[in-house]
Structure 1
Amino acid sequence: MSRTFRYVTLDVFTHRRFGGNQLAVFPDARGMTDAEMQSLAAEMNYSETTFVLPPADPAHTARVRIFHRTAEMPFAGHPNVGTAFVLADRAVDDVLRFEEIAGLVEIRLTRDAAGAVTSATVAAPQSLKIGGEMPVEIAAACAGIPPEGVVTTRHAPTIASDGGNPRLVFEVTPEAMAAASPDIAAFRRAVETTPALGGKLSLYLYRPEGTGLRTRMFSPLAGTWEDAATGSAATPLAGFLLHLSGAENGAWEITQGVEMGRPSVLHTTARRTPEGIRATVGGGCVRMFEGSVTL
């Protein structure tokens, strides 16, 4: 017996169409199998697609499953922002709570005077976790830049996460930021020679720009050659920068996706808590398409 499922697509971390990071949301995925979800995410060919299910705890808004082209993810930033826009009518006091593999994710909505949602801010579900360091030569090779393009004044290339996939975070020069292009052979060599990576590697390059940050993210082994906006990399970066600074709290505006022609703006915060450093990421969103698929 065939089943029909509605979907919505959005551009996330932008206030204009054809910017930001693309996302597909299936607002009611009841009856869909895991294999169907994965196949649909691959077919959509966006960096992520979300599938909304009833929550295990009725006090929560929904259970949200996030898939990229090849696997399910425990947490991600722009899928939560976009899904919150789609499910905004389910918010209680402008707060939604999504059950995800990484834990309970809280999203807070901001509205304009007319009541329209203008932004959504996602709290990373876990505190900052700092992993090991990677040699500059390996990180640079993966990014397709010379080793001197990696800035090590404050830190070496370092693995950081807060509920999503771990990201290798490192600062680069303006010239290296512009020239970076992932070398998939170098990525494969890196995961083969570094068992601690568990076969996964995502690079998050950053550099200061004005009062904010400019970033690029590469994850070719997961099917994302470059990502236009990566909330689950922006939050550990914010947390890591706060860790380095020694301050109690901080905020950074991050610009990403410029080199792809899909400029995105991510607003991040980080603060110290008794449980560790916690971070948030937020931004705007624009609806694009609506449709349905019959399985």
Structure 2
Amino acid sequence: MKLPYLILDVFTRTPLKGNALAVVPKADGLMDNEMQAIAREFNLSETVFICKPQNERNSAALRIFTPYQELPFAGHPTVGAAVTLGLSSRASAIRMEEKVGLVTALFERLDRRSGEARFTLPRLPQRIVDLPDRLGLAQALGIEVEDIGCDVYRPAVFSAGVTFHLVPVRDASVLGRIKINHTAWENVFHHEHHSAYVFTLTPEEKDYDIAARMFGMDVGEDPGTGSAAAALIGMLAEQALGTGQSDYVLRQGHEMGRPCRITLQLRKDDDVLVHGAIGGEAVVAGEGVLDLAD
């Protein structure tokens, strides 16, 4: 069996930056264990398999795998798959069936190998629980207790399909000082996936409103995490104005040399979050063929 694949760099328009993603565009017929084995072979944070949709009105069905498990939803595979499907068609709206639900992305072609996609969250983020143990958080991240917290934001667990521990810190310099304490990690970040999204506001940066780093999900550090940004929308929405739309630009991956630019959008009506969206660019960095013959 020979399967074509693409390598995209997501949340960037520059090859070899952003968050790398493997895309298998013709994945029908693959068994679950074969998809998992292929994702482990690529050994990227995620691999997305594009299959025929169950509903013919939709563009595709997606299966998303880390090297170790399948995910119901993830942001950078969704953006990467939408750009892949958009580049191979003339469609400006890409409808993708994911385990978390139907995801619709608006696509804009930038050139022959890059595009931009923004998708509405299939599940709005929800607060799960507070994280009051500031000392434990600081020890797990290798920072000071006084570094925890930013403006009105306090640590909490949120999920928009994938669970994240959201940890606001004082400023961007704290992000650069993080040194993971693996002994303390899983006891402190004990909810599903043991993943922490550490973020801060960046009013001194003209191009970005928020800076973040993501640790966990069996990948160490991830350069660009759309599902975590989706969870963060929930925390941002709690402090947003009662009615209206708010837009943010977030940077992630700069400390890794893989800078990502992620756009966030939320809208509230009568103080209730009614809309959330994530967006970014993606570029095809390479392509090849998997030869799976015995």
Question: Could you tell me which residue of structure 2 aligns to residue 254 of structure 1?
Answer: 250
The 4+ residue runs of structure 1 with deviation greater than 6 A are none
Which of 170, 178, 181 aligns to 1:180? It is 178
Question: Could you tell me which residue of structure 1 aligns to residue 116 of structure 2?
Answer: 119
- Secondary structure, counterpart of 1:290 in structure 2: strand
* 2:173 pairs with 1:206: no
* 2:50 pairs with 1:57: no
Note if contact 1:118-1:285 (Cα within 8 Å) is conserved in structure 2: yes
Seq. identity, % = 31
Total equivalences in the alignment? 284
Question: Could you tell me which residue of structure 2 aligns to residue 96 of structure 1?
Answer: 94
- Secondary structure, counterpart of 1:55 in structure 2: coil
Relative distance call for 1:58 and 1:38 in structure 2 (3 A) is: same
Q: Distance in 2 between matches of 1:131 and 1:232?
A: 15
The letter for the 1-side match of 2:234 is: G
Relative distance call for 1:258 and 1:104 in structure 2 (3 A) is: same
Q: CA deviation at 1:30?
A: 1.4
The letter for the 2-side match of 1:227 is: D
Q: Distance in 1 between matches of 2:176 and 2:253?
A: 12
Relative distance call for 1:217 and 1:287 in structure 2 (3 A) is: same
Question: Could you tell me which residue of structure 2 aligns to residue 137 of structure 1?
Answer: 135
Deviations 1:170-189, CA, capped at 9 Å, x for gaps? 21123321111322222222
| Structure 2: 5+ residue stretches without partners | none
Q: Distance in 1 between matches of 2:251 and 2:92?
A: 26
- Secondary structure, counterpart of 1:75 in structure 2: coil
Relative distance call for 1:233 and 1:226 in structure 2 (3 A) is: same
Question: Could you tell me which residue of structure 2 aligns to residue 291 of structure 1?
Answer: 288
- Secondary structure, counterpart of 2:123 in structure 1: coil
Deviations 1:106-159, CA, capped at 9 Å, x for gaps? 1111235x7875311121111121110122122222322222211165232111
Note if contact 2:233-2:264 (Cα within 8 Å) is conserved in structure 1: yes
Note if contact 2:240-2:246 (Cα within 8 Å) is conserved in structure 1: no
Q: Distance in 2 between matches of 1:151 and 1:273?
A: 27
Note if contact 1:242-1:249 (Cα within 8 Å) is conserved in structure 2: no
What TM-score, normalized by structure 1, do the two folds share? Answer: 0.89
The aligned runs of 1:15-30 (5 Å cut-off) are: 15-30=13-28
Q: Distance in 1 between matches of 2:154 and 2:201?
A: 16
- Secondary structure, counterpart of 1:111 in structure 2: strand
Note if contact 1:213-1:255 (Cα within 8 Å) is conserved in structure 2: yes
Q: Distance in 2 between matches of 1:23 and 1:115?
A: 18
The letter for the 2-side match of 1:50 is: V
Q: Distance in 1 between matches of 2:17 and 2:289?
A: 23
Which of 6, 9, 26 aligns to 1:8? It is 6
**Further displaced range: 33-42 or 235-244:** 235-244
- Secondary structure, counterpart of 2:220 in structure 1: strand
Note if contact 1:10-1:288 (Cα within 8 Å) is conserved in structure 2: yes
Q: Distance in 2 between matches of 1:14 and 1:115?
A: 15
Note if contact 1:127-1:162 (Cα within 8 Å) is conserved in structure 2: yes
Q: Distance in 2 between matches of 1:258 and 1:265?
A: 10
* 2:242 pairs with 1:244: no
Q: Distance in 2 between matches of 1:125 and 1:147?
A: 35
Deviations 1:7-42, CA, capped at 9 Å, x for gaps? 100110011111100000000111211111111111
Deviations 1:265-291, CA, capped at 9 Å, x for gaps? 111101125984431111111111111
| Structure 1: 5+ residue stretches without partners | none
Q: Distance in 2 between matches of 1:245 and 1:226?
A: 29
Q: Distance in 2 between matches of 1:35 and 1:13?
A: 29
Question: Could you tell me which residue of structure 1 aligns to residue 103 of structure 2?
Answer: 105
Question: Could you tell me which residue of structure 1 aligns to residue 39 of structure 2?
Answer: 41
The letter for the 2-side match of 1:74 is: P
The letter for the 2-side match of 1:169 is: L
Q: Distance in 1 between matches of 2:68 and 2:277?
A: 26
The letter for the 2-side match of 1:244 is: Q
- Secondary structure, counterpart of 1:242 in structure 2: helix
Q: Distance in 1 between matches of 2:119 and 2:100?
A: 13
The letter for the 2-side match of 1:266 is: I
What TM-score, normalized by structure 2, do the two folds share? Answer: 0.90
Which of 66, 73, 76 aligns to 1:75? It is 73
